[in-house]
Amino acid sequence: ICWSVRGGWHRPRVSPYGPISLDPAAAVLHYGQEIFEGIKAYRHADGSVHTFRPDQNGRRLQRSARRLALPELPVPYFLQSLRELIAVDGAWVPSGEDQSLYLRPFMFAKEAFLGVRPAHKVAYYLIASPAGAYFKGGVKPVSIWLSEDYSRAGKGGTGAAKTGGNYAASLLPQSEAYENECDQVVFLDQDRNVEELGGMNVVFVYKDGTIVTPQSDSILEGITRDSLLQLARDRGHNVVGRNVSLTEWREGVASGDIVEVFACGTAAVVTPIGVLKGRDFIDEQPTGTLALELREELTNIQYGRAEDKHGWLYRLDA
Ligand code: PMP
């Protein structure tokens, strides 16, 4: 799906998947003026197709647009684009355990010029790809590499926006994580507070049942995290957003105050953190059951196996 803007959104067009033609001077290629979203469509047992809290993705796309000086796509248009794509061929949404259609909306500066300024000609696209289970053979705890040399975003930067530059900045630290036999990288802020992983938020569970998650205006506000924390509140957990320093994390685990650490995002949903590794330490992380229970509860809602008590599902095929 492709829409373009030049003084208002116009020319919606659904076309077969294929290359985009772009002027070599297109602003996006030089200045990275682009944003995106990630969202999944799920097929329920009765065949219907639903997505999860797409209004939140639509609003986050608008916040990202503001930060990147791109025009805001109205949320109703955003929702319409998702429905139109499914209307082309609903069979694209696979059925079966943990299967989904991954939807990737994105917007970029198409205008060709070489000076540095916001572009006036912008395109919005939506592409899709079937996604299988993130974990083959069951959910496994991940190992996390602590990035000491690199940050993902700074104060006042673009950390809260879903824009390519943030991910570009995380590629090198992510390869450092692989070199150190870790699955993912965790970033700290300038005060050594925990921020997030390359593509997931982090959550800490304390012995007294309190759940703490980093609150910062330089991390992406995950929709999965927000939903899991709501489910935790429904169960009576006290949920707090605040700074968590690396020292608090490591000492909390050592003293038994922190009983579980997990990461969450649309792709993996929830994954327990099994190990935190730094240049000169390896901390085994405690394992609990809350992360997996919340994961089960959330995926049951997404796949229509449990009551959607918060009204989070949005039907795409009707
Ligand atoms: N942080 C980053 C940097 C991410 O890329 C993602 C994935 N979109 C998340 C957190 C989790 O966000 P969500 O739960 O909305 O997928």
pLDDT band at 154 (very low <50, low <70, confident <90, very high): confident
What CATH architecture does domain 2-132+307-315 belong to? 2-Layer Sandwich (3.30)
Q: Which of 266, 269, 271, 299 to mutate to test the pocket of ligand 1 (most atoms within 8 A of CB)?
A: 266
Q: How far is the CA of 218 from the centre of ligand 1 (A)?
A: 13
| Burial (Cβ within 10 Å: 0-12, 13-18, ≥19) of residue 59 | middle
113 Cα–ligand 1 center, Å: 32
Task: Give the tens place of pLDDT for each residue, 162-176.
Answer: 999 999 999 999 999
Whose alpha carbon is nearest atom 5 of ligand 1? 199
User: Ligand 1: which atom is nearest the Cα of residue 152?
Assistant: 3
In short, whether 163's Cβ falls inside 6 Å of ligand 1 is no
222 lines ligand 1 (CB under 6 A): yes
Mutate to test the pocket of ligand 1, among 220, 228, 295, 299 (most ligand atoms within 8 A of CB): 220
Q: Which atom of ligand 1 is nearest to the CA of 224?
A: 14
- Distance of CA 197 from the midpoint of ligand 1 (Å): 9
Q: Which of 60-69, 84-93, 141-150, 196-205 has the lowest mean pLDDT?
A: 84-93
- The yes/no answer to whether this complex scores an ipTM above 0.90 is yes
Above 70 in pLDDT, residue 20? yes
Taking 80 as the threshold, does the pLDDT of residue 123 lie above it? yes
The pLDDT, as a whole number, for residue 3 is 74
Give the nearest ligand 1 atom to 223 CA. 15
More confident residue, 30 or 134: 30
pLDDT value for 13: 82
Which tens digit of pLDDT belongs to each residue from 244-296? 999 999 999 999 999 999 999 999 999 999 999 999 999 999 999 999 999 99
Q: For the chain, what are the domain ranges? A: 2-132+307-315, 142-287
Mean pLDDT over 221-230 rounds to 98
How does the average pLDDT of the chain come out, rounded? 95
Regarding the beta carbon of 196 and ligand 1, being less than 6 Å apart is answered yes
Using a 6 Å cutoff on CB, does residue 40 contact ligand 1?
A: no
Ligand 1 in contact with 225 (CB < 6 A)?
Answer: yes
pLDDT at position 89 is 86
Of all residues in the chain, what percent carry a pLDDT higher than 90? 88
Question: What's the per-residue H, E or C state across the chain?
Answer: CEEEECCCEEEEECCCCCCCCCCCCEHHHHHCCEEECCEEEEECCCCCEEEECHHHHHHHHHHHHHHCCCCCCCHHHHHHHHHHHHHHCHHHCCCCCCCEEEEEEEEEECCECCCCCCCCCEEEEEEEEEECCCCCCCCCCEEEEECCCCCCCCCCCCCCCCCHHHHHHHHHHHHHHHHCCCCEEEEECCCCEEEEECCCEEEEEECCCCEEEECCCCCCCCHHHHHHHHHHHHCCCCEEEECCEHHHHHHHHHHCCEEEEEEEECCCEEEEEEEEEECCEEEECCCCCHHHHHHHHHHHHHCCCCCCCCCCEEECCC
Residue with more model confidence, 116 or 96: 116
pLDDT of residue 18: 92
- Binned at pLDDT 50, 70 and 90, residue 133 comes out as confident
Task: Decide whether any atom of ligand 1 lies within 6 Å of the 199 Cβ.
Answer: yes
Looking at domain 142-287, which CATH architecture does it have? Alpha-Beta Barrel (3.20)
pLDDT-derived band at 223, boundaries 50, 70, 90? very high
Ligand 1 contacts CB of residue 111 (under 6 A): no
Ligand 1 centroid–CA 25 distance in Å is 30
In the structure, what pLDDT confidence band is assigned to residue 7 with cuts at 50, 70 and 90?
low
**239 pLDDT more than 90:** yes
Which residue has a Cα nearest atom 9 of ligand 1? 200
Percentage of the chain lying above the pLDDT 70 cut = 99
pLDDT at 14: 86
pLDDT of residue 274: 97
